[in-house]
Each structure stands twice: as C-alpha cells, then as structure tokens.
Amino acid sequence: MTARRSSTWALLASSLRPGQWTKNLLLFVGLIFGGRLLDPDAIAAALLAFAIFCALSGAGYLFNDVWDRDADRRHPLKQGRPISSGELRSSTAMIAASALAASAIGGAALIAPSLALVAAAYALLLMLYSVLLKHIVILDVLTIAGGFVLRAIAGAVAVGVPFSAWLLVCTTLLALFLALSKRRHELVLLGDSAVDHRRILIEYSPYLLDQMIAVVTASTVIAYTVYAISPETAGRLGTPRLGLTIPFVLYGIFRYLYLVHHKRAGGSPAALLVSDRPLLACVGLWIATVAVLLYSPLGK
C-alpha cells in the first residue's frame, strides 16, 4: 500500500513537469525592471507568485495530458508520460490538477486580489488552450504568447509595480518566436505522422513557419532595441545605458535559431535553455548586466 502511494506521488510529480517551470522565471522581470530587486518584501512576494504559477503550470500540464492522452500514445516522445502510458490514472490527475489550481488561486488572493484575477485568467487560458484554442491555426501560438504575457503581468502585480506597454510587446514577440519555433520542431521531428499527433500541424508548413519566425525575430530585435535606447526608458529606469544589453539579445535569438535549424532543437524551450551552455550563459550575462545597470553607480 505504501509503495503504491509513493509511486503515485512520484508519477504526479513527474507529470507536473518541473523542468518546464523555468518559463515562470518571467515573473521576476517586474521585480528587476520595477526597481524593487533590493526590497525584501517585494522579493518575498515575487517568490510566492513564482510558486503560485508553478502550481498553475503543473495543473495545466496534468489537465492537458489527460485531454491529449490518446494522441500522446502515438507520439515518439510523449508516449512514455505517466498518463498516456496508463501508469497514472486520469481521475487521479484531474483531482490533483483541481486541487493545485484552487490552492494557487487562493494563495494569490492572499497576496493581492488583482494577482488572483491574473492567476484565474491564466488557469482559464490553459484550459481553453487544451480543449479548443490549440486546434485553431495562428490562435494556437497567440494563446501560448498570451500565457507568457500573463506571467509578466502577474510578476508586476505581485510586487506592486506598473507594467509598461514595452514589457507586453517584447514578451509577446519573444513568446511567439518560441512558440513558432516549437511548431517547426514538431513538424520536422514527426514528419508524415505530425498530423496524427497534433491536428493543427496540417495548417502549417516549415516554409510558412520560417516566414513567420523571420517576421517575429526582426520585430523582437527592433522592439527591444527601441525600448533599450528610448529616452523614456532611460528616465524611468534611471540609466541611459540599457542599450549595452542589446548584443546579448541578438546572440540569444541567433543562437536559438541555430539550434532550431541546425540541431533540430526547440521542442522544449525550457529544456533547451538549461541544456545549451552558450544560451544559458547569454541569458545569465543579460540578467547580470541589467542588474548592474539598474542597481549600481555604473549604470548612471
């Protein structure tokens, strides 16, 4: 009896996909760019918000795996997941997902009612994506981008700082870049059986996705560049030198494109971030440079 319970907990933990929770690090953008990185109360609130969205993400993965269990059994990589393989009961997964979502939204309400609204909107978006939106061409990737935007908004709300239009634009474009790259990876990986796994893939082709990725890539670089060198940004952040971070953004995007096209990666942006050392180093250097520019005399 004990062994079975332990096995069930282990299967649940695996199905929550903690390796994907790095996406929720986006919640700390508001803390950093809002000038509250040295505020202990703001740090605590951001950490709690991060935990809340990790719980919501895990609940979303459980719900999605239950909903997609039949299609996942035909996928070369997803067929071994606990739910699609039958090791974890769908009913158990749904109970856990409901409990996690309710606890997370309740916890968000204790921090701020507005954070609870964002958390509830995020949970609803995840559910709509699993059931409907991922089957509608273009809306599927826009929905993924919307999830990233809600994370960014939640991070700002949690620490009590305003979220700028630039934050939303840059987050949306970067998320679209990642989502489109993931769709391309799925097409290349699955080949002729791609449609059997994900019906929406019949609406895409590598050429179409490459065109869309090219547009989003250029837009992302331009948007971040304009944001970084804008006098408005310099006045709000207290530093005119944010443009020094542009090379890191360029390298990071180009490195990601290299991995997608030449290494056939991109199926899991979170896994790629932690597995590719040059990309991880680039992100780390970008964060360190931003912190120095915003919180030390060197940025003035």
DSSP secondary structure letter of residue 16? T
pLDDT in tens, 37-72: 999 999 999 999 999 999 999 999 999 999 888 777
DSSP string, 231-272: HHHHHHHT-S-GGGGHHHHHHHHHHHHHHHHHS---S-HHHH
Is residue 69 in some structural domain?
Answer: yes
Structure-block tokens of residue 120: 């509830």
pLDDT in tens, 198-250: 778 888 888 999 999 999 999 999 999 999 999 998 988 888 999 999 999 99
Same domain, 70 and 145: yes
Of the residues 162, 193, 222, the one at which a domain ends: 162
- The pTM of the whole model exceeds 0.75: yes
Same domain, 142 and 285: no
Same domain, 136 and 18: yes
Same domain, 184 and 151: no
Q: How far is CA 186 from CA 172, 202, 205, in A?
A: 21, 11, 11
Same domain, 215 and 88: no
Tally the domains of the chain. Answer: 2
Spell out the alpha helix ranges (H) of 191-205: 194-197
Specify burial of residue 297 (Cβ count, 10 A radius: 0-12, 13-18, 19+).
Answer: exposed
Domain that holds residue 214: 164-300
Least confidently predicted of 21-25, 123-127, 241-245? 21-25
Is residue 287 in some structural domain?
Answer: yes
Specify burial of residue 37 (Cβ count, 10 A radius: 0-12, 13-18, 19+).
Answer: middle
pLDDT in tens, 140-190: 999 999 999 999 999 999 999 988 888 889 999 999 999 999 888 888 877
Rounded mean pLDDT, 87-93: 89
Same domain, 21 and 119: yes
Structure-block tokens of residue 274: 């932690």
- Structure confidence at residue 261 as a pLDDT band (50, 70, 90): confident
Is residue 4 in some structural domain?
Answer: no
